[in-house]
Structure 1
Amino acid sequence: MTATLHSISGDATAAPSMDALVALVAGDLRHVNQVILDRMQSEIPLIPELAGHLIAGGGKRMRPMLTLACAQLLEYGGARHHKLAACVEFIHTATLLHDDVVDGSGLRRGRRTANIIWGNAASVLVGDFLFSRSFELMVEDGSLKVLRILSNASAVIAEGEVNQLTAQRQVGLGEERYLAIISAKTAALFAAACRIAAVVAERDDGVELALDAYGRNLGIAFQLVDDALDYASDAETMGKGVGDDFREGKMTLPVILAYARGTDEDRKFWKDAVEGRRVSDEDLAIAIRLVRETGAIDDTIARARHYGQRAIDALGPFTRGTAKSALTEAVEFAISRAY
């Protein structure tokens, strides 16, 4: 029987969490964290200080945990995935450092961002350092296939960020381009993190593609929920400033749907807001009311559930066990953050 959302672990009443995934990979993750700690060191004190601020800042290590869990799903018994999971975390951290500069963000995971503390230039350069470290780890692994997967993901992420930048403050942005943006800037690394486990475990292309599909669909679902939460949550839940997307003029799916469904007066409000003329707390309150009244939040979450189910379906060919259950519950957790 195909697993579905809300059918994991046989207990429909239990709130999904990351606990099963964390427990599954705890031993491996200690090795990964040691690699991260070792490789973020430098004779230039600012580099480990700034990098450590973000890396040790409360993140769940979700992407490297996916690499480790997928390796366990395939019963891989080696250690190559430790360095590669660290590599994935370095790529992710580098993109966060750069994103916060581009977005002018002041908060991440409830803490001041590195660019606020050390400045934009230092954040960009330390991000570059971490990207370089990630490529060192790829080369040390020695697999051209791994190098191709992770280097391609890095390029796609950058393309997605540029696409988002050029789409900023464009009220006419459609759902198709929005999905292209989040598929690149978020889902590409989720997909690569999962796919490389099949490479190190020396599995065939079908297994690679199944894990790629799992990660990609999970990444899209994850980002859809994040974008919904920007209009339905608080800073403690989000780990960033509430309404950041709104003030930055980002046409995320809740706004795209609310704009399409709104009255002429609503659409004028959204045009002014997206173009930067309505950014006060009172304007944010209006935006939150509009996305709720038009059903845009509920439908964004419904789309997230759709992609979440696709992620679960991609695990269908794999043997049932603790790894498969933990990966399934990770999807449930990603969706449940919206409730």
Structure 2
Amino acid sequence: MQAALNIIGDELKSVEQQFVKDLESDVPLIRKVGEYVLSSGGKRVRPALLLLAARLCGYTGDKAVPLASVIEFIHTATLLHDDVVDSATLRRGLASANTLWGNEASVLVGDFLFSKSFSLMVAVGSLDILRVLSAATTIIAEGEVMQLLCTGELDLTEEQYINVVRAKTAILMSAACEAGAILGEVTPERRRALADFGMDLGIAFQLMDDTLDYTATEEEFGKSIGHDLEEGKITLPLIHTLRQCKSDERDTIAAVIEKDEMSLEEFREVSALVKQYGGIDYAVASAQCYIKRCSDHLELFAPGVVKDALLELAEYVVTRSK
């Protein structure tokens, strides 16, 4: 992330200030919950992508920072809703908002952030950007429902899972990059290239998240390890394991997934199978393939520090431990 921070560090500070401004409300709880989640240590990858994409496309105006704030507002709204759906207790190493204020407050503040995002998009004055970001929020909602339908589905294919990842996680990174390209008024080909860059980076990001659920400590990961497994989420390391393992081992995994609560011993048993059959390595290798594609997408753009920063940001995705 350091190369990106060297270029857009001041703008990211302005994004943080924009958050505070955009959270203004006559309802104190909205600001309280919103500031808690927005200040809880996120890496701001999505705002950084928009700011860097805009720079790469030669944009020098004043709309990138407000739009970067919008992107993080949308992301934060999805986190609030996700934690309610997943009954999560940790987020970025801290108590999740629903743990502190309850599910009702989390859902309603998430709704506020979504609604506020659209009013902020309109203020930017670009119908193209409004179209891209509104389409992205619709796809995110579809992705959440798709994931719900796939819960506990042992026969979930890799293709089906990647489709969920595209919709639930990657589309917002793609939209962030495409919005930056729209600000820079580049050719349709370059706009598509940046959208594709964001999409493949987003898929790689989620695949690495999948591995961290099995390999990281809670302190590193910032949320409960094994939570995806306990919730019955079939992610790529487990998909690969289920394709490779013996029938009795598959039954063991199925029995754990069907339980409402999972013991530490059960998690370790499934985690050992995932590692034994190379599920972690397979997911990491898949993520690296998507990052390679990210590099290919940027070949349309001339070499320079901004392009290098985007590529370094992509590499960060597959080397992070949280």
TM-score between both structures, scaled by the size of structure 1: 0.93
Q: 1:228 aligns with which of 207, 211, 216?
A: 211
Contact 2:92 2:222 in 1 (8 A): yes
1-structure distance, mates of 2:261, 2:18: 46
* Aligned positions, number: 322
Q: 1:133 aligns with which of 116, 129, 135?
A: 116
Alignment partner, residue 120 of structure 1: 103
Q: Aligned pair 1:43/2:36, yes or no?
A: no
Q: Which amino acid aligns with 1:226?
A: D
The within-5 A match list for 1:176-255 is 176-255=159-238
Which deviates the most, 90-99 or 252-261?
A: 252-261
Report deviation, 1:31.
2.1
Contact 2:18 2:66 in 1 (8 A): yes
Q: 2:149 aligns with which of 166, 177, 183?
A: 166
Q: 2:289 aligns with which of 291, 295, 306?
A: 306
1-structure distance, mates of 2:58, 2:220: 35
Q: C-alpha deviations, 1:100-150, integer Å up to 9, x for none?
A: 000000001100000000000000000000001110111001111101000
Q: Which amino acid aligns with 1:176?
A: E
1-structure distance, mates of 2:131, 2:289: 29
CA-atom RMSD in angstroms:
1.2
Alignment partner, residue 319 of structure 1: 302
Q: 1:70 aligns with which of 25, 37, 53?
A: 53
Q: 1:295 aligns with which of 265, 278, 281?
A: 278
Contact 1:272 1:278 in 2 (8 A): no
Q: Which amino acid aligns with 1:316?
A: E
Q: Aligned pair 1:269/2:249, yes or no?
A: no
Regions of 4+ moved over 4 Å = none
Higher relative contact order (CA 8 A, sep 6+): 1
1-structure distance, mates of 2:232, 2:22: 36
2-structure distance, mates of 1:172, 1:152: 30
Q: Which amino acid aligns with 1:94?
A: A
Alignment partner, residue 101 of structure 1: 84
Contact 2:136 2:171 in 1 (8 A): yes
2-structure distance, mates of 1:322, 1:151: 31
Q: 2:62 aligns with which of 63, 67, 79?
A: 79
Which SS does the other structure have where 2:228 is aligned? helix
2-structure distance, mates of 1:91, 1:294: 37
Contact 2:51 2:64 in 1 (8 A): yes
Alignment partner, residue 15 of structure 1: none
Which SS does the other structure have where 1:178 is aligned? helix
Report deviation, 1:277.
6.2
1-structure distance, mates of 2:141, 2:288: 26
Alignment partner, residue 137 of structure 2: 154
2-structure distance, mates of 1:316, 1:165: 37
Contact 1:222 1:335 in 2 (8 A): yes
Which SS does the other structure have where 2:300 is aligned? coil
Which SS does the other structure have where 1:240 is aligned? coil
Which deviates the most, 124-133 or 198-207?
A: 198-207
Alignment partner, residue 8 of structure 2: 25
Alignment partner, residue 75 of structure 2: 92
